[in-house]
Amino acid sequence: MDQRYSILTLGTADMARARGFYEGLLGWKPFMTEGITFYDAGGFILGLFGHKELAEDANLPVGPVGEGYRGFAVAYNARNEEEVDAVLALIETQGKAHGAKVLKPAHKAFWGGYSGYFADPDGNAWEVAYNPFWPIDDAGHLQLPKTQTT
């Protein structure tokens, strides 16, 4: 198996609310919407699918939709600290109307960068980070360092 992934699909309790957040507030453009919505996320796809339908599709028991840590966070890497602040300010000032909220304000991170967190309308954690050690190329792709620690 190649070391990559193609699509990250988030289960949503309310497709209209979720789309209102991603499209209405963040300005993302949907690719396809017939029960599932996809967004081109610069090299991979972010999908939104009904919570119950996603569980059933994966042959998993349908668990509750709710708040709390889910075992993962989606990350958006910014080009600088100012972009981190701008994204979190957008969520702080307009996110509540879309069901989103800031979880953790931007701060200097222990690993040498700058980051904060917000929750989307379904409570999925998104980190917004600037990592000075991982540059972003002209196409918007995050670049890992050339050296590897083993």
DSSP letters spanning the chain: --S---EEEEEES-HHHHHIIIIIIT---EEEESSEEEEE-SSSEEEEEEHHHHHHHTT---PPP-SS--S--EEEE-SSHHHHHHHHHHHHHHSGGGT-EEEEEEEE-TTSSEEEEEE-TT--EEEEEE-TTS-B-TTS-B---SS---
- pLDDT tens-digit profile of 71-110? 788 999 999 999 999 999 999 999 999 999 999 999 999 9
* % of the chain beyond a pLDDT of 90: 62
**Average pLDDT of every residue of the chain:** 89
Other residues' Cβ atoms within 10 Å of the Cβ of residue 101: 15
Q: Which residues is 77 bridged to in the sheet? A: 129
Spatial CB neighbours of 33, under 8 Å, sequence gap ≥ 6: 19
Q: Which domains does the chain have, with CATH numbers?
A: 1-61 (3.10.180.10), 72-139 (3.10.180.10)
- pLDDT tens-digit profile of 14-48? 999 999 999 999 999 999 877 899 999 988 899 99
Q: Are strands 45-50 and 74-77 parallel, antiparallel or unpaired?
A: unpaired
pLDDT (0 to 100) of residue 150: 55
Distance in angstroms (rounded) separating the CA atoms of residues 9 and 49: 7
Q: Give 66's pLDDT tier (boundaries 50, 70, 90).
A: low
Q: Give 67's pLDDT tier (boundaries 50, 70, 90).
A: low
Rg (CA), the chain: 16
Distance in angstroms (rounded) separating the CA atoms of residues 60 and 49: 15
Measure CA of the first residue to CA of the last residue in the chain; give whole Å.
21
pLDDT (0 to 100) of residue 72: 80
